[in-house]
Amino acid sequence: MSSDNIDRIRLCSDVPEHVAIIMDGNGRWAGERGLPRHLGHREGMNAVRESVEGAIAAGVQILTLFAFSTENWNRPPQEVSALMQLLQHYARREGEELRKRGVEVHVLGELDRVDSATRRAIETITDSTRGGITLRLNLMISYGGREELVRAARILSERVRAGELDPDEINEDELQKTLFTRDVREPDLLIRTSGEFRISNFMLWQLAYTELHITRVLWPDFGREDFFEAILEYQNRDRRFGSVRSQ
């Protein structure tokens, strides 16, 4: 690897353990080239590979990608179907390579809404990569932050109704344990591509103290050097979590 940036990242001990990405701009990327939107998503798959490789090279431990939101179900049926097929294609084409690279894939979201062929592909890639220790890759599919919090409220209420939990015992820890991301730390860094300054219903609970990096680069053009730039910028931030700087 010949990147100067990767050397600079490694010189600093503070590599973000968990990086999350809102992958945005596939449609615009295709539009600028007079191509149909689904070709933008297809090109976006290469950018997924770039970020996975970048994360491994930088020593990031968890990479979370917003691949399909609950709102995305409202897109035209052809686009939804193209995105589901792309996920299946990714699982088939990349599963073996991810396994070899020590990437453990998790797919998180309301998967009941996903068609059976995509669910099978998800099962295959999660089963075949289980036990990978280099990088945990969370693909957020049929995921929405508000829906996740409503689900959390429902799970906690059921436990109260069953007499397993006293309402006075409900605190941040108890709620955290009901989230799709219950077994991973909160993201240290959130990257959003395509220059939009929005969270778009992504990980509303988990992003409370996450550092944000917003770039104008459209997702299909986002390469590993862009990923390294985001980490370098993060390494210059002063994270205080609502407190004051330590002296």
Q: Give contact residues for ligand FPP (rule: CB under 6 A).
A: 23-28, 41, 44-45, 48, 65, 67, 72, 83, 86-87, 90, 139, 194, 219
- Asked if 72 is an active-site residue, the reply is yes
Q: Which helix (H) or strand (E) holds 149?
A: helix 145-161
Tokens 């002296």, residue located: 247
- The single residue of 7, 14, 72, 127 carrying the catalytic annotation is 72
Cβ proximity to ligand FPP, 6 vs 25, nearer residue: 25
Cβ proximity to ligand FPP, 219 vs 234, nearer residue: 219
In this structure, what token pair is assigned to residue 21?
């990405």
- CB-CB contact of 95 with 124 (8 Å): yes
Task: Choose among 163, 219, 162: nearest CA to 192.
Answer: 219
Cβ proximity to ligand FPP, 54 vs 152, nearer residue: 54
- Asked if 74 is an active-site residue, the reply is no
Task: Choose among 197, 73, 83: nearest CA to 139.
Answer: 83
- CB-CB contact of 186 with 207 (8 Å): yes
Please, where are the H alpha helices in 19-140?
Answer: 26-32, 37-58, 77-100, 116-129
Cβ proximity to ligand FPP, 115 vs 169, nearer residue: 115
- The single residue of 5, 24, 221, 226 carrying the catalytic annotation is 24
Could you tell me the smallest distance in angstroms from the CB atom of residue 137 to ligand FPP? 9
Could you tell me the smallest distance in angstroms from the CB atom of residue 233 to ligand FPP? 22
Could you tell me the smallest distance in angstroms from the CB atom of residue 183 to ligand FPP? 20
Catalytic residues: 24, 72
